[in-house]
């Protein structure tokens, strides 16, 4: 086949967004901007400052913070090895020895943070290398030289040559790292931070559940664990949702106790669950061992009757936790925040303690949680920092937007204010100047790049949803009087340049 024929046969590749990721397009992005702008405004009134943290961090940060047994860490993270810059590109057979030596040094110095199996993997690769080296130098013989070399390649590929990093599945761990790394315990406490941006989890995609999704979250770190802090954080989210006119908002709260009382409750729960094990589905049966609290999360119809009879954590809180919980409820009432107590609300992340909450909204089907949060007093310490109180939440921005759209909050396509219909070279120069002045004054302007017939220009202005067409032909330019056509009613009037700007400004102020 000739080269030309081969090229013809090759089908053009059709690229598509990766499963679970989405493109956000105008006009929807206008709504995203509105939501984010509102968050900036509302959170600032509560004294929160914005923080931007990296999209990827060391995997062990998430493993430590979120918990190795959680779904997020055990199966949903996007993880890869960030190869050490101290290692040359893949070595040749001749430089294998030196290469292994270097890897060993990097493991030892911590330059490549050591992990459990590193030593074994390195030893296996080195031994195999010796075997192959002997073969190649003729010192030994093998029936299966090919297999021996291939085994070396496989063992080499299995070596970890850098730090394991993950795309962030959530941001609380990063914010805590930042608090420690930047010595924020020296600042006036508590430190109040918020963030927004994409998170990544390899979940099964469905409506309201994506592999790249966006969260808007806030954290209060340090200072005290006064119940008023919990209540104020919740009040802030509710005020944010209120400003956005989110519909069907329902706040559920619970207390899941502390390191003192929760383990005792979990044991009690485990014992009760074991008694009814046969009546539970396979997921819940497994969770009896791994994480009995998660059984309470079950949505399985057949399990609901059984779960309703299980012991409730509110009845097993230690005195401090019980006092804290009732004070949080009182504080919410003082702020006029309406809540529902939900003893089954446990949340899927390991770091929560005491106050937990979740907010649902309408129009989302089964994925109706738009916000989850809670207190995580031990987390900063767990990550190597000083003992620090903490509470925060994360809002699922995708779901928030979906719910707003379902209730009719979708913004209309943003039309242009002015479409400049120019004709002739002289008018083109004037049109460029007019466009610049109008844009400086804040109007959105469409300036066609090439001359158009008058009828076509007006048709185009209409399609773009322009409010006005500014007509600039030779006559307008020589007279210094510009024609402005209001597209809604077809009326037309002539203005001098300054009058035109003034007129448009007035119309805008009147929102016409």
> From the list 48, 77, 112, 170, which residue makes contact with ligand AMP (rule: CB under 6 A)?
170
Residue 428 in tokens: 């083109």
Q: Are 199 and 170 in contact (CB under 8 A)?
A: yes
> From the list 253, 391, 394, 423, which residue makes contact with ligand AMP (rule: CB under 6 A)?
394
Residue 124 in tokens: 């296996």
Smallest distance from ligand AMP to CB 247, Å = 16
Q: Which residues contact 183 (CB under 8 A, 6 or more apart)?
A: none
What DSSP string runs through 11-40?
PPP---PPTT-----TTHHHHHHHHHHHHH
> From the list 102, 294, 329, 399, which residue makes contact with ligand AMP (rule: CB under 6 A)?
399
* Angle formed at CA 50 by CA 226 and CA 353, multiple of 5 degrees: 35
Residue 383 in contact with ligand AMP, rule: CB under 6 A: no
> From the list 70, 128, 174, 215, which residue makes contact with ligand AMP (rule: CB under 6 A)?
215
Total of chain residues touching ligand AMP, rule CB under 6 A: 17
Q: In this chain, which residue has its C-beta nearest to ligand AMP?
A: 396
DSSP class of 294 = G
Q: Are 160 and 118 in contact (CB under 8 A)?
A: yes
Smallest distance from ligand AMP to CB 38, Å = 17
Residue 162 in contact with ligand AMP, rule: CB under 6 A: no
For 252, list phi and psi in degrees, rounded to 5.
Answer: -110, 135
Contact mark string toward ligand AMP, 339..378, x via CB under 6 A = ---------x--------------------xxxx------
Q: Return the number of the residue (378 or 396) whose C-beta is nearest ligand AMP.
A: 396
Using CA atoms, how far residue 90 sits from 84, 93, 99, 234, in Å, is: 12, 10, 9, 53
Residue 213 in contact with ligand AMP, rule: CB under 6 A: yes
Q: Return the number of the residue (210 or 468) whose C-beta is nearest ligand AMP.
A: 210
Q: Are 192 and 350 in contact (CB under 8 A)?
A: no
Do you find a cis peptide bond into 54, omega within 30 degrees of 0? no
Instruction: Report how far Cα 226 is from the mean position of its chain's Cα atoms.
Output: 29
For 366, list phi and psi in degrees, rounded to 5.
Answer: -75, -25
Residue 209 in contact with ligand AMP, rule: CB under 6 A: yes
CA dihedral 27, 32, 33, 37 (to 10 degrees): 150
Residue 396 in contact with ligand AMP, rule: CB under 6 A: yes
> Which range of residues in 49-57, 108-116, 203-211, 325-333 is near ligand AMP by CB under 6 A?
203-211
> Which range of residues in 103-111, 241-249, 396-404, 482-490 is near ligand AMP by CB under 6 A?
396-404
Smallest distance from ligand AMP to CB 360, Å = 9
Strand, coil or helix: what is 439? helix
> From the list 201, 294, 329, 354, which residue makes contact with ligand AMP (rule: CB under 6 A)?
201
Chain residues in the site for ligand AMP (CB under 6 A): 170, 201, 203, 208-210, 213, 215, 348, 369-372, 394, 396, 398-399
């Amino acid at each position: 086949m000739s080269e030309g024929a081969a090229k013809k046969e090759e089908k053009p590749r059709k690229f598509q967004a990766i499963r679970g990721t989405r493109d956000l397009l105008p006009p929807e992005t206008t709504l995203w901007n509105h939501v984010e702008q509102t968050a900036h405004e509302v959170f600032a009134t509560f004294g929160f400052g914005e923080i931007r943290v990296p999209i990827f961090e060391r995997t062990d940060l998430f493993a430590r913070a979120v918990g190795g047994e959680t779904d997020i860490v055990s199966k949903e993270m996007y993880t890869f090895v960030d190869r050490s810059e101290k290692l040359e590109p893949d070595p040749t057979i001749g430089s294998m020895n030196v290469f292994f030596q270097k890897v060993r040094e990097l493991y030892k110095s911590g330059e490549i943070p050591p992990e459990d199996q590193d030593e074994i993997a390195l030893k296996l690769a080195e031994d195999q290398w010796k075997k192959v080296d002997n073969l190649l130098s003729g010192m030994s013989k093998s029936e299966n030289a090919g297999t021996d070399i291939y085994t070396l390649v496989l063992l080499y590929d299995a070596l970890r040559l850098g730090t394991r990093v993950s795309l962030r599945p959530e941001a609380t761990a990063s914010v805590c790292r930042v608090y420690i790394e930047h010595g924020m315990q020296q600042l006036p406490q508590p430190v109040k931070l918020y963030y927004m941006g994409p998170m990544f989890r390899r979940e099964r995609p469905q409506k309201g559940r994506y592999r790249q999704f966006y969260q808007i979250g806030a954290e209060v770190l340090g200072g005290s664990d006064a119940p008023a802090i919990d209540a104020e954080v919740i009040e802030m989210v509710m005020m944010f949702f209120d400003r956005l006119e989110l519909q069907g908002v329902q706040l559920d709260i619970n207390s899941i106790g502390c390191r003192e009382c929760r383990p005792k409750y979990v044991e009690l729960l485990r014992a009760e669950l074991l008694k009814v094990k046969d009546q539970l589905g396979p997921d819940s049966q497994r969770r009896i061992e791994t994480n009995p609290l998660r059984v309470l999360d079950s949505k399985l119809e057949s399990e609901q009757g059984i779960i309703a009879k299980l012991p409730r954590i509110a009845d097993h809180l230690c005195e401090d936790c019980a006092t804290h919980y009732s004070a949080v409820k009182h504080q919410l009432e003082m702020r006029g925040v309406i809540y529902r107590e939900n003893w089954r609300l446990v949340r899927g992340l390991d770091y929560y303690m005491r106050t937990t909450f979740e907010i649902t909204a309408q129009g989302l089907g089964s994925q109706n949680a738009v916000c989850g949060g809670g207190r995580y007093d031990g987390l900063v310490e767990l990550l190597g920092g000083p003992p620090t109180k903490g509470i925060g939440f994360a809002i699922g921005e995708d779901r928030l937007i979906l719910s707003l759209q379902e209730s009719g909050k979708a913004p209309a396509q943003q039309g242009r204010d002015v479409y400049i219909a120019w004709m002739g070279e002289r008018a083109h120069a004037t049109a460029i100047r007019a466009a610049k002045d109008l844009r400086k004054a804040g109007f959105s302007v469409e300036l066609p790049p090439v001359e158009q017939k008058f009828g076509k220009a007006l048709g185009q202005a209409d399609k773009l949803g322009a409010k006005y067409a500014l007509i600039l032909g030779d006559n307008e330019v020589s007279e210094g009087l510009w024609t402005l056509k209001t597209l809604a009613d077809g009326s037309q009037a002539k203005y001098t340049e300054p009058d035109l700007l003034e007129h448009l400004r007035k119309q805008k102020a009147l929102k016409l």
